[in-house]
Amino acid sequence: MDLLNMVFTGLFTVEMVLKIIAFKPRHYFCDAWNTFDALIVVGSVVDIAVTEVNSSEDSSRISITFFRLFRVMRLVKLLSKGEGIRTLLWTFVKSFQALPYVALLIAMIFFIYAVIGMQTFGKVALQDGTQINRNNNFQTFPQAVLLLF
């Protein structure tokens, strides 16, 4: 796994250097994706350097978990190249923006049904030998919500 990490980091580094030579540094960093690529490559190179230093010294003074994020960011770089994948990622992000509203709707439905259950079944006598016992009843609001869940 570490060998593949080094190989891909080397390939991305060569790609970045060739782009900087072709576009000149001033024009290369004008594009946001190129700046993102450079950040990923520099972070990955630092990750490899810190990992190699820590493995040779056998000391874990430097926490390298932050630099492991650059491996995940490389996936974002690769996924952003395809139009279909980009549309899928955009849809995924937009669906997360609606998630709080869906959670609020579900909470409101639970609240309504818990109140209806308390009004309808709240006065039913508890019997230990049946399914209506001290854990399964609508006598209090928290128990009603838990029973609905």
Residues 78 and 107 occupy one common structural domain: no
Domain residues for the domain of 31 are: 2-82
Residue 92 and residue 99 in contact, taking contact as beta carbons nearer than 8 Å: no
CB atoms within 10 A of CB 114: 21
Residues 49 and 110 occupy one common structural domain: no
Q: Is residue 143 part of a domain?
A: yes
Residues 66 and 113 occupy one common structural domain: no
Number of domains in the chain: 2
In angstroms, the CA 64 to CA 67 distance is: 5
Q: Is residue 46 part of a domain?
A: yes
Q: Is residue 51 part of a domain?
A: yes
Q: Is residue 94 part of a domain?
A: no
Per-residue model confidence as pLDDT tens digits over 70-118: 667 767 766 666 778 778 878 888 888 888 999 999 999 999 999 998 8
Q: Is residue 88 part of a domain?
A: no
Per-residue model confidence as pLDDT tens digits over 49-75: 877 777 665 555 555 566 667 667 767
pTM of the model: 0.47
Residues 107 and 75 occupy one common structural domain: no
Residues 62 and 31 occupy one common structural domain: yes
